[in-house]
Amino acid sequence: METRAPRWVERDELNRDPAMQDFVQSLIARFGRELSVAVARSSLAPHLFVSRGAHGVFFVNRRPNTVFAFAYAGPDERFADAAGDLFEYAAQGKLVANILEEEPKAKELAGLGYTATPFGVMQKVPRLAGFSLEGTKMRRLRYQISHYEKHGQCETREYRTGSDLATDRTVAALVDAWKAGKKQIGPYVDHFRGRIASGELPGDCRLFLTYRDGQLDSAVVISRLPAANGYLMDLEFYGADMPLGGLEFTISRIQEILAKEGVSYFSLGATFGTQMEACAEEDPRVGKMLRGLHAARIFNNDGNFQFKNKFRPENTRLYVSRSRDAPSASFTDVLMIFADPENRRQSRQEAPSAPATTTPAAPVLPPP
């Protein structure tokens, strides 16, 4: 295949280019993992970086001095080359590149001389057919599900948005109630709430509702992971008066439904701000910063991690990789992307500068 220079694609440009969209969706279908299909990606990483030769893409965001790659979609054997392209592209624009990845890929970059600082974990059930509530390890989960079931007639069922206007409105009202109890939410929640209210759930998402004596207690959105024959637990909404165990009940029922459908993999998603103990490959300055924020409960999601651990998932560490000489102060830009992904507190920034390149035609999907 013809060699092509790396290319940064703005969100607006991507939205106007159906061929590029098809290319990206093809990569996600074949190689995409949790972070590439997550609903939050549209806000956290709205732009695209296409690697040299168009073998893979990073979903990216930026600040004036920083590039942040939230997810990669492409062949594993091309990851290091694609990461090298991004690091080089950023350096040419005098920017600091940061790449978020799970342990295998982060360790690969560490072997090439980059730092890999713990940032969180990915929690998943890779063999869904073997999931069971039996055994001593599941005792706490069984207790909470039983506690919820004692509060009424409980039922979880899948709902197709747009099939009943009253239900659409009820789900939207539940999202509003959930938002009212949160100090900070990502803008993608409002975007998604609007799609639920208008009955326009994306085709790769499914919505499950749990009722207790006819009252809607929770709504869980899962996103398809075609590359793994699985689903990601993407968004969870619930009311303030939902009894203890309500989400555990819903998630367990969803797993049972998916297992019967022949789905083999279920991911509980990424949890950032937990399990960040020091490691040999980390940037010690960034690690110290993150652990300080964790101790101050500013960047701390231990509770969410413990909630998911009740399902006894496999946990894989998430790391942020960057150059060893990158200034530690620039890492605050990465944290600000999570706090304010669409940069609403500042005027819109320009795309990173880089040497002029010829705009290629729509990338061709690499052969299997």
Interval 152-189: pLDDT, tens: 999 999 999 999 999 999 999 999 999 988 877 877 88
Q: Helix 246-260 and helix 139-149: axis angle, to 10°?
A: 110
* pLDDT at residue 196, as a whole number: 86
Q: Please classify residue 157 by burial: count the beta carbons closer than 10 Å to its beta carbon, then call 0-12 exposed, 13-18 middle and 19+ buried.
A: exposed
Tokens at residue 61, please?
Answer: 């965001």
Please say if the pLDDT value at position 210 is more than 70. Answer: yes
What is the rounded distance in angstroms from the CA atom of residue 205 to the CA atom of residue 203? 5
What is the rounded distance in angstroms from the CA atom of residue 28 to the CA atom of residue 49? 14
Amino acid letter, 25: Q
Please say if the pLDDT value at position 364 is more than 60. Answer: no
Question: Which parts of the chain fold into alpha helices (H)?
Answer: 11-15, 18-31, 34-37, 41-44, 79-92, 103-111, 139-149, 165-180, 187-197, 246-260, 284-295, 302-309, 331-339
Nearest C-alpha neighbor of 59 from the set 91, 88, 19, 25: 25
Amino acid letter, 151: H
What is the rounded distance in angstroms from the CA atom of residue 328 to the CA atom of residue 2? 38
* pLDDT at residue 361, as a whole number: 37
* pLDDT at residue 273, as a whole number: 96
Tokens at residue 309, please?
Answer: 């651990």
How confident is the prediction for the chain on average, in pLDDT?
Answer: 90
Nearest C-alpha neighbor of 331 from the set 78, 56, 115: 115
* pLDDT at residue 345, as a whole number: 59
What is the rounded distance in angstroms from the CA atom of residue 118 to the CA atom of residue 140? 28
Do residues 15 and 35 make contact, with C-beta atoms less than 8 angstroms apart?
Answer: no
* Residue 91 pLDDT class (50, 70, 90 cuts): very high
* pLDDT at residue 131, as a whole number: 87
**Phi and psi at residue 286, to the nearest 5°:** -70, -40
Do residues 205 and 235 make contact, with C-beta atoms less than 8 angstroms apart?
Answer: no
Using one digit for the tens of pLDDT, what is the confidence trace for 253-308? Answer: 999 999 999 999 999 999 999 999 999 999 999 999 999 999 999 999 999 999 99
* pLDDT at residue 63, as a whole number: 93
Please say if the pLDDT value at position 353 is more than 50. Answer: no
Using one digit for the tens of pLDDT, what is the confidence trace for 43-68? Answer: 999 999 999 999 999 999 999 999 99
Please say if the pLDDT value at position 110 is more than 70. Answer: yes
* pLDDT at residue 344, as a whole number: 66
Across the range 334-359, mean pLDDT stands at: 59
* pLDDT at residue 346, as a whole number: 55
* pLDDT at residue 347, as a whole number: 42
Tokens at residue 16, please?
Answer: 């106007």
What is the rounded distance in angstroms from the CA atom of residue 178 to the CA atom of residue 249? 18
Nearest C-alpha neighbor of 35 from the set 93, 85, 102, 94: 102
